[in-house]
Amino acid sequence: MKYLFLILSVLTIHSQNENFEKKSFIYKTDTLNYRILKPLNYDSSKKYPVHLFLHGSGERGNDNESQLIHGSNLFLKENNRKKYPSFVIFPQSPKNDWWGGHYDPYKFDYQVKNSKALKLVIKLMDEFVMRSDVNKNKIYVSGLSMGGMGTFSILSQRPDMFAAATPICGDGDPNSVKSFAKKVPIWIFHGALDRVVHPNRSLI
């Protein structure tokens, strides 16, 4: 019985995840896989908020599936979809890249080449917010762990794009804060017992 319940639970989660449509964003010779959830009862004549969610390092790959492991269920809850109708975008970083903007998360050397994956996310967002069904004043970003690092990084590069941000157990460059600190409301989450990314890294 427990085994049957487990199978049914997995099938239910998979079915719900199918609400996130599979997409690919192509820029020149590069491709970014992403999933997108449309607003409930979508109406093309309306303008909707957009929520960008950046996954952690364990969800990197090219299956366009793994990035939904953490966080997607929150956006799929019926009550949330009814109360906060919006577009939700979950891009996926390849295994050999990451969202941090710089390849060493603890050495913010701005001479280091920026992450290709993050550049593609920025290009995707630059285009997406220009849609007629998007409310440009309600663009939000969240990220978990590596995605929290990406949240701080994308804020520093597009401080005028986002209405608010919620980095979770991330890491940011203190030197970049001035570009967005007084523009974007930020709610930072970090567990005191985090052994992967020290909580002090969120005190930027």
pLDDT for residue 3 is more than 50: no
**Pairing, β 134-144 against β 164-168:** parallel
Neighbours of 192 (CB within 10 A): 6
Q: Enter the pTM of the model.
A: 0.86
pLDDT for residue 12 is more than 70: no
Which token pair is 128?
Answer: 């997406």
pLDDT in tens, 118-161: 999 999 999 999 999 999 999 999 999 989 989 998 998 899 99
> Exposed, middle or buried, 90 (CB in 10 Å: 0-12/13-18/19+)?
buried
Mean pLDDT of 171-186: 85
Which token pair is 47?
Answer: 């303008």
- The three-point CA angle 147-61-112 to 5° equals 55
**Pairing, β 87-92 against β 48-54:** parallel
Q: What pLDDT shows up at residue 123?
A: 97
Q: What pLDDT shows up at residue 188?
A: 86
Which of residues 111 and 134 earns the better pLDDT score? 134
Beta bridge partner(s), residue 144: 168
pLDDT for residue 102 is more than 90: no
Q: What pLDDT shows up at residue 198?
A: 65
Write out the residue range of the structural domain in which residue 175 sits: 2-202
Number of domains in the chain: 1
Rounded percentage of the chain residues whose pLDDT exceeds 90: 63
- Please, what sign has the CA dihedral across residues 177, 178, 184, 187? positive
Q: What pLDDT shows up at residue 27?
A: 97
Mean pLDDT of 27-44: 98
CATH of the domain at 45: 3.40.50.1820
- HSE-CB at 71 with a 13 A cutoff on CA atoms is 28
Give residue 5's pLDDT band: very low, low, confident or very high (50, 70, 90): very low
Which token pair is 16?
Answer: 């719900």
Q: What pLDDT shows up at residue 105?
A: 53
